[in-house]
Amino acid sequence: MAAKLMHAVQYERYGGGPDGLKHVEVPIPVPKKSEVLIRIEAVSINPVDWKIQKGEIKPIFPRKFPHIPGTDLAGEVVEVGPGVRNFATGDKVVAMLNHLYGGGLAEFAVVKESAMAKRPDELSAAETAALPVAALTALQALTQSAGIKLDGSSPQANILITAASGGVGHYAVQLAKLGNAHVTATCGARNIEFIKSLGADEVIDYRTPEGTALQSPSGKKYDAVIHCATGIPWSTFEPQLSSKGKVIDLTPGFGAMLTFAFKMLTLSNKRLVPLLMSFKAENLEYLLKLMKEGKLKTVVDSKYPLSRAEEAWARSISGHATGKIIVEP
């Protein structure tokens, strides 16, 4: 019997940007052991998706062409494979696919049951599809790398969040406030009031001299920087750090890796810490719980139907999203 087909968006080689994305009809994948088939309701775009297409992470990603990009999705379980224990047909879920294989820009995707969480009824597909890469990264940076306890039981830390208006940054501001931190944030002038509304104590326009120097308006030195922007050298951070301050770098380039090694070898108190998000289902469940309790929200920059996925792609490449970009099949 011929396999049933679905609409998907894929690319066949490195490069090409939005024009490299092609709309195709491909077979609906079949769930294997411990996997489920999800009918996708929303998928969010992350910068890593188009960085993979650009070849910035080759030869690790993608594993092979053609590649359907996108990893963060929300939808409904429509079929379960053998051995699935915790999910059933009809469950609303949030999931993260593996960057090696992608599969998100499509009507259906197969997901390992270990890579998903149940979605509370009161939360929408769009606001929860936005969570996996961006919010899990913000959570890991704050709790694991910066040592902030989100129940507010750690002593107040001074935290700087760069690019606070982006996907990761807007979650980091909210989570840092849950952790009782004093938050200084950088963003463009148009987003200052928005970032204050998320709870930031001080917000600086990154295009002003104070913003370029990352200077806290009240003269605070930072115990940790959740560095979501790119292209800021260590020499800019160092004078703004407290005696044991850390820069948690989400996009470490060659220079940052050299600084990381040098600071380690010289036993410096001030450190650069490269971060690579590692998925944990319990962390996704925790974020969904915070969202359900009204303690965390997703700000949606823009939504596109799957038929216009290339516009979502271009929007992310522009680097000017405020919050998250969503595609809805």
Which stretches of the chain bind ligand NAP, using CB under 6 A?
A: 46-48, 133-134, 137, 162-163, 165-169, 186-188, 191, 206, 228-230, 250-251, 275-277, 316, 319-322
Indicate the residue among 267 and 276 with the shorter CB distance to ligand NAP. 276
Q: How far is the CB of 175 from ligand NAP (least distance, A)?
A: 13
Q: How far is the CB of 103 from ligand NAP (least distance, A)?
A: 18
Q: How far is the CB of 170 from ligand NAP (least distance, A)?
A: 8
Q: How far is the CB of 185 from ligand NAP (least distance, A)?
A: 8
Contact 14, 68 (CB under 8 A): no
Indicate the residue among 221 and 320 with the shorter CB distance to ligand NAP. 320
Q: How far is the CB of 50 from ligand NAP (least distance, A)?
A: 9
The letter for the amino acid at 24 is V
Indicate the residue among 87 and 313 with the shorter CB distance to ligand NAP. 313
Q: How far is the CB of 95 from ligand NAP (least distance, A)?
A: 17
Q: How far is the CB of 84 from ligand NAP (least distance, A)?
A: 28
The letter for the amino acid at 33 is K
Indicate the residue among 199 and 274 with the shorter CB distance to ligand NAP. 274
3-state secondary structure of 158: strand
Contact 312, 302 (CB under 8 A): yes
Provide the 10 A C-beta neighbour count for residue 174: 21
**Sequence-ordered alpha helix ranges (H) in the chain:** 47-54, 125-129, 132-140, 167-178, 192-197, 209-213, 234-237, 254-265, 281-292, 309-318
Indicate the residue among 118 and 196 with the shorter CB distance to ligand NAP. 196
> Nearest CA to 46 among 329, 280, 296, 277?
277
Indicate the residue among 52 and 84 with the shorter CB distance to ligand NAP. 52
Indicate the residue among 30 and 57 with the shorter CB distance to ligand NAP. 57
Indicate the residue among 186 and 240 with the shorter CB distance to ligand NAP. 186
**Sequence-ordered alpha helix ranges (H) in 46-148:** 47-54, 125-129, 132-140
E strands along 81-149, which residues? Answer: 92-96, 108-112, 116-118
Q: How far is the CB of 145 from ligand NAP (least distance, A)?
A: 11
Please name the residue that has the structure tokens 């696919």. Answer: 97
What is d(CA 71, CA 20) in angstroms, rounded to the nearest whole number? 18
* 237-273 as b/e: b if 16+ CB within 10 A: beebbeeebbbbbbbbeeebeebbeebeeeeeebbbb
Q: Left (φ > 0), alpha (ψ -120 to 50) or beta: where does 129 sit? A: alpha
